[in-house]
Amino acid sequence: METGQQARRTTVLPWISTVARLGLAAVWLIAGGLKIGDLAASGRAVNAYQIFPYDVAKVIGAAQPFLEIALGLLLLVGLAVRLSAGISAAFLLIFIAGIVSAWSRGLAIDCGCFSSGGELGAGASPVYGWDIARDAGFLVLAGFLLWRPRTRYSMDGVLMGDEQ
């Protein structure tokens, strides 16, 4: 028998998870959608981090928008939510590590998260603290979905026979 508090939690948590799922879906769809029109620029943005050889950075940059859009679509429809959240968390940790690496090495780049990225022009300053904080916020959404992957209006719920 559920107590009042347990009943509220059972009712509210799936809605919070739904907001987290749709928010993270929007992040990936926007990020990938903004990059997909210019895959060369996406490759240059990855190369600006000076972590990979140029040819490897080009391949990563060309693949990244498609991976982001795929994650966004999976989260949007609510299919494989926990897996999608886990992959999202891994990507976000990689992105945060890349930004920290660029910052610690004194590189002046645009992270390329929601733009074509790359090296900044003379006099422009990077906003690494904001980029890290923003990605950490997205990481919280992914972490919440790892903890509570059951959401409303999702394919996972339909496949599992959950009432929506």
Higher-confidence residue of 164 and 70: namely 70
The span from the CA of 66 to the CA of 29, in Å, is: 9
- The position carrying tokens 């903890």 is 147
Higher-confidence residue of 2 and 70: namely 70
Residue-level pLDDT at 12: 86
Q: Where are the domains of the chain?
A: 13-156
User: What integer is the mean pLDDT of 106-125?
Assistant: 85
For the chain, give the mean pLDDT: 90
Q: What is the phi/psi pair of residue 114, to 5°? A: -130, 30
User: What integer is the mean pLDDT of 88-102?
Assistant: 97
Higher-confidence residue of 160 and 97: namely 97
| Residue pair 159/81 in contact by the 8 Å Cβ criterion | no
pTM (global) more than 0.85: yes
Is the CA virtual torsion 97, 103, 105, 110 positive or negative? positive
Banded pLDDT at 123 (limits 50, 70, 90):
confident
Residue-level pLDDT at 162: 63
| Residue pair 98/92 in contact by the 8 Å Cβ criterion | no
Banded pLDDT at 25 (limits 50, 70, 90):
very high
Residue-level pLDDT at 164: 43
Q: How many CA atoms lie within 13 A of 6 on its CB side?
A: 3
Q: From residue 91, give the alpha-carbon distance in Å to each of 13, 15, 106, 143.
A: 25, 25, 23, 12
User: What integer is the mean pLDDT of 26-51?
Assistant: 95
The span from the CA of 128 to the CA of 99, in Å, is: 7
The span from the CA of 161 to the CA of 3, in Å, is: 24
Residue-level pLDDT at 46: 96
Longest dimension (CA), the chain: 65
Q: At what angle do helices 4-35 and 54-77 cross, to 10 degrees?
A: 140
Residue-level pLDDT at 158: 59
The span from the CA of 139 to the CA of 23, in Å, is: 11
Percent of the chain at pLDDT > 70 equals 90
Of 27, 41, 155, 21, which Cα lies nearest the Cα of 91? 27
Say if residue 80's pLDDT is above 80. Answer: yes
